[in-house]
């Protein structure tokens, strides 16, 4: 990352892993190592059921809390859903939105994800908006087209003055949980295109402030080269975030570049 105005962000997406007490154990190990560092934004995103117990572990530390999803209404008859207000009350600062697993298994559309992005911002939650192409789309040379559609759909109607807290995660679907990583050059090409698109949706200054994370089998072994790319501002980490050692190592690798 060449641009000093953006702070690296390493976010762990625990997905549907860890009970509340297992989450406390993992959060404790992470806090022991990372509580005092401020060079890099370190965020853990446990499942809903572990948010409250993890929030207690993170209290007073510099490790922040995020959720993996939310419903775009403050309250009401939406059985099984969780609101941004509820997440804020548990001291969440971030929320992952539009993850490819939600797009695929729960048929979330760009329009629905857009409602969530807006509702998150209204509640002062920083959305981590995930975008990314499938293998089929990449092979059909449609990567940039897909990303543009996901960005313009997901960010529609957001005022430029509210946009800076947004985080984008570029996650090529074919690289998630597969062990296949985009090469740093492949990732950089898409990250640069995302930043260009953000400049056209908002403006250049906002685009320069928005952090763009890479996600897809990122681990300590491949992180350094990815983080060296000028438009890669951190990582959204799945598998490697479930072990304290690798998550801490990823934050340390980012710190060394500051």
Q: Which residues bind ligand PEP (CB under 6 A)?
A: 13, 171, 176-177, 215-218, 236-240
Q: Which residue has the tokens 């939310």?
A: 70
Rounded CA separation 258/250 (Å) = 13
Q: How far apart are CA 237 and CA 240, in angstroms?
A: 6
Cβ-proximal residue to ligand PEP, closest one: 238
From the candidates 108, 137, 171, 197, give the one annotated as an active-site residue: 171
Residue 99 is among the residues annotated as catalytic for this protein: yes
Compare residues 114 and 217 and give the one whose CB is closer to ligand PEP.
217
Residue 120 structure tokens = 């998150």
171 catalytically annotated: yes
Q: Which residues of 166-202 are buried (b: 16+ CB within 10 A; e: fewer)?
A: bbbbbbbbbbbeeeebbebeebbbbbebbbebbeebb
Q: How far is the CB of 147 from ligand PEP (least distance, A)?
A: 16
Catalytic residue among 99, 133, 137, 197: 99
**CB closer to ligand PEP out of 97 and 207:** 97
Q: How far is the CB of 217 from ligand PEP (least distance, A)?
A: 4
Nearer CB in complex with ligand PEP: 151/202: 151
Min separation Cβ 60 and ligand PEP, Å: 27
HEC profile of 36-98: CCCCCEEEEECCHHHHHHHHHHHCCCCEEEEECCCCCCCCCCCCCCCCHHHHHHCCEEEEEEC
Q: Least distance from C-beta 216 to ligand PEP, angstroms?
A: 5
CA distance 253 to 237: 14
Tokens of 107: 């048929």
Min dist CB 157 to ligand PEP, Å, is 26
**Comparison of 190 and 240: residue with beta carbon closer to ligand PEP:** 240
CB nearer to ligand PEP: pick between 66 and 216: 216
Q: Mind telling me the catalytic residues? A: 99, 171
């Amino acid at each position: 990352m060449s641009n000093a105005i953006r702070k690296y962000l390493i976010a762990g997406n625990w997905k549907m892993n860890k009970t509340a007490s297992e989450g406390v154990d993992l959060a404790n190990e992470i806090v022991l190592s990372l509580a005092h560092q401020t060079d890099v934004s370190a965020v853990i995103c446990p499942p809903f059921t572990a948010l409250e117990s993890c929030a207690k572990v993170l209290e007073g530390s510099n490790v922040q809390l995020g959720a993996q999803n939310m419903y775009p209404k403050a309250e009401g008859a939406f059985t099984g859903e969780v609101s941004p207000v509820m997440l804020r009350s548990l001291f969440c600062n971030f929320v992952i939105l539009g993850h490819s697993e939600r797009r695929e298994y729960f048929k979330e559309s760009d329009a629905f994800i857009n409602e969530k992005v807006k509702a998150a911002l209204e509640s002062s939650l920083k959305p981590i908006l995930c975008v990314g192409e499938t293998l089929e789309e990449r092979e059909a040379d449609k990567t940039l087209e897909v990303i543009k559609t996901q960005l313009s759909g997901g960010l529609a109607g957001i005022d430029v003055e509210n946009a800076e807290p947004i985080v984008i995660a570029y996650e090529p679907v074919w690289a998630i949980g597969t062990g296949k990583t985009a090469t740093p050059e492949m990732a950089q090409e898409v990250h640069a295109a995302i930043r260009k698109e953000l400049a056209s949706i908002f403006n250049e200054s906002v685009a320069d402030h928005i952090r763009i994370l890479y996600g897809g089998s990122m681990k300590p072994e491949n992180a350094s080269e990815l983080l060296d790319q000028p438009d890669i501002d951190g990582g959204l980490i799945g598998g490697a975030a479930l072990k304290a050692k690798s998550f801490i190592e990823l934050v340390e690798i980012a710190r060394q570049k500051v």
